[in-house]
Amino acid sequence: MLSYVHDFHAGSFADVHKHAVLSIVHAYLNRKPKPMALVDLYAGSGRYQLNTYAAQKTGESHRGIERVWPPESWPSELADYARCVRAENADQLKAYPGSPALLKSLARPIDRLIFNELHPKAQEKLVALYDRDRQVKLYSRDAHEALVALVPPTEKRGLILLDPSYEQKEEYNQLMEGVLKAFKRWRTGIFIVWYPLLPSNAHRAMVDGIVRGVDCETFVSEIRVPTDGTGMHGSGMLVLNPTWNLASTMKTLTPWFAQLGGEAGQAVMNNRLNAAPATKGSD
């Protein structure tokens, strides 16, 4: 059952958090001239119009990208992300790039893009955008299966974004098991997992299980926004093999992310870098 449609959530504070982290990780990887693979297994539709019925119904972009608009005001660490958001919008904010559009704008000609999406309507939009693009390989597979089947990419260098809709409770556990299996096959890959912060704390066992189950450094970034206490109150990102710049850059950007709280108060960000097991406890 796939009832989640990202058109209702595009440009939310969670998208801003997720896409900022993605672009910061990418900027560091991009410093080396070797080719890389940029894999997005829950790709969505690619890009989104913000004046649609779906986007206006939830108004999530008002509490996300709109709060940090315009991109010219963003810190230099977010220059790539800013450029991509600007490229979607001539003057006023009307559209928002999803992760495929962001990754496509970041990729160099030597890099390869792998986008996977199971929902037929979202997949149709991805096909319209990228089917003729020789740099992009499109799949319409169940991401739980694709996660293990498609890694490691031939390049061995690169990142994989895992951004499920968590429609079913079991997805947390399924994703944890999939990441642990896939990581054994691609130990040098940078795995980036997004998760929602909900009153149930449904994410906690998954995040703890992955952090405990891998033998690499991990980084966790969580943002909490002021809410009425019901529904999603924050966004989390778990990164395996974080790039060297990630923790320090996220710290520098704390005041920028705080703006995502809006008039009700600042968004609060917590970041945690966990050492690889061999060195855990050594400080």
Active centre residues (catalytic): 163
Which tokens sit at 230?
Answer: 């019901």
Closest residue to ligand SAM using C-beta atoms: 98
Q: How far is the CB of 61 from ligand SAM (least distance, A)?
A: 12
Q: How far is the CB of 214 from ligand SAM (least distance, A)?
A: 22
Report the residue from 60, 163, 217, 222 that binds ligand SAM according to the rule CB under 6 A. Answer: 163
Which of the residues 74 through 133 are near ligand SAM (CB under 6 A)?
98-99, 116-119, 122
Report the residue from 21, 43, 136, 159 that binds ligand SAM according to the rule CB under 6 A. Answer: 43
**Per CB under 6 A, does 42 bind ligand SAM?**
yes
**Per CB under 6 A, does 222 bind ligand SAM?**
no
Distance between CA 171 and CA 75 in Å, rounded? 35
Residue 113, φ and ψ in degrees, nearest 5:
-115, 135
Q: How far is the CB of 9 from ligand SAM (least distance, A)?
A: 7
**Per CB under 6 A, does 44 bind ligand SAM?**
yes
Distances, alpha carbon 261 to alpha carbons 143, 162, 217, 244, in Å: 32, 25, 29, 28
Q: How far is the CB of 263 from ligand SAM (least distance, A)?
A: 26
Task: Pick between residue 99 and residue 218 the one whose CB is nearest to ligand SAM.
Answer: 99
Residue 24 CB neighbours (<10 A): 23
What does the CA dihedral 71, 77, 83, 89 come to, rounded to 10 degrees?
-20
Task: Pick between residue 145 and residue 208 the one whose CB is nearest to ligand SAM.
Answer: 145
What string of DSSP letters covers 103-135? HHHH--TT-EEEEE--SHHHHHHHHHHHTT-TT
Distance between CA 63 and CA 225 in Å, rounded? 10
By CB under 6 A, name the binding residues for ligand SAM: 2, 4, 6, 15, 18, 42-44, 98-99, 116-119, 122, 142-144, 163-165
